[in-house]
Amino acid sequence: MPAAAMISNSMRRNFIASGFFFLLTALVAVSAAPRAEAQTAAGSRDLSGIWDKVSVASPPWAPGTDRQFVSEVPLQPWAEEYCREVGCGRGSNSSGEPSGGTYYVVKDPAFTISRCAPYGFPRVMIGGGLMEIFQNPARVFLRFQTNNELREIWLDGREHPDDADPTWMGHSVGRWDGDALAVDTVGIRGGEHGKYKWLDPAGTPHGDELHITERIRRTARDALQIDMTFEDPEAFTAPFAGKVVYELRPDEEIYEYIRCENRVFSDDRKEIWPLIFGDEYPKPNFPPAGTAP
């Protein structure tokens, strides 16, 4: 006799009852999952896509130009001195128009004729171009066209590590606050007074204690707004805030981009390591824009 036949009627009823309970639970689970997904798909918590930076809005970026992080960044004396040396934000293009970059480009640690350093965060976000965002439940990834640099923002509730070595990207944790992703980043390497790393393309230096908060929000299907605050007692006399706006570029793609690939292929000493020939490297022959910070 099959085992099932040994089961009493009451037990069977229990089975049926628990069957219904299971069914109910399963139905709730199954119907809830698509709802949660639909909410994501509606755009609120979905940041994914290819984005292009359209503006870096003031303050503290100078009005009327695309100069970034210029005069109002509250610099500590050493940072101010550094900015005077490299001409923070006083660069211009060959027709003499303000470019928002540094005047003395060979001092840019990321420049191919300089140290070929990664941009790191936040420069890659402020001064980069295309950025792709993709996400899974534990993380949001930001992949930049520049050097294919990659940021990861942890969403799984973890905290910053206690004693991590500083990195170029820092350690980022995020949580959703409505439809905005609130991100907190620490552990960003400072780059020894601007020598190895800059905060932005203008040349602003920062220290190891830089603390950045971001509110990343899709303000429209095609628009991404990132409100940032910067705090760094080593380099700045006060915290300050800024805003970066990106636009969706669905037809664009992030291509492979190897940092300073030209050096890999070069057999010419000067091309490989122009830094040591720094004195021979031509200084820009157009005047610095704006006034000294």
Partner 1 sequence: MRRLCVSWRLRGSWIAIGVFLTVWAVPAAVAQNNAQNRDLSGVWIKTDSATLPWAPGRKTIFAAEVPLQRWAMEHCRKVGCGRGTDSAGTPWGTAYLQGEDPVFIRCAPQGFPRLLLSGGAMEIFHTAKRVFMRFYFGNEMRQIWVDGRGHPESVNTTWHGDSIGRWDGDALVVDTVGILGGEQGKFKWLDPSGNPHSDDLRVVERIRRSDPKTLVFDVRFEDPGAFTAPFSGTLVYTLNPDAEPGRTDSVPEYVQCEDRIYADTEGEAWPFVTGDYPKPNFPPVGPER
Binding region for partner 1 (CB under 8 A):
2, 4-5, 12-13, 16, 19-20, 23, 26, 30, 48, 109, 115-118, 134-136, 138-139, 143, 148, 150, 152, 154, 156, 158, 167-169, 196, 255-256, 258-260, 263-265, 269, 272-273, 275-276
Q: Examine residue 60 and say whether the peptide bond preceding it is cis (omega within 30 degrees of 0).
A: yes
Cβ proximity to partner 1, 143 vs 249, nearer residue: 143
Q: How far is the CB of 245 from partner 1 (least distance, A)?
A: 25
Helices first, then strands: H and E counts in the chain: 6, 9
Q: How far is the CB of 167 from partner 1 (least distance, A)?
A: 4
Q: How far is the CB of 188 from partner 1 (least distance, A)?
A: 11
Terminal-to-terminal C-alpha distance of the chain: 94
Cβ proximity to partner 1, 110 vs 289, nearer residue: 110
Q: How far is CA 111 from CA 79, 249, 270, in A?
A: 20, 26, 14
Cβ proximity to partner 1, 2 vs 64, nearer residue: 2
DSSP 193-206: TTTS--SSTT----
- For 145-158, give one letter per residue: b (16+ CB within 10 A) or e: bbbebebebbbeee
Q: How far is the CB of 172 from partner 1 (least distance, A)?
A: 12
Cβ proximity to partner 1, 35 vs 255, nearer residue: 255
For residue 263, with 0-12 CB atoms within 10 Å meaning exposed, 13-18 middle and 19 or more buried, which class applies? middle
Q: How far is the CB of 276 from partner 1 (least distance, A)?
A: 5
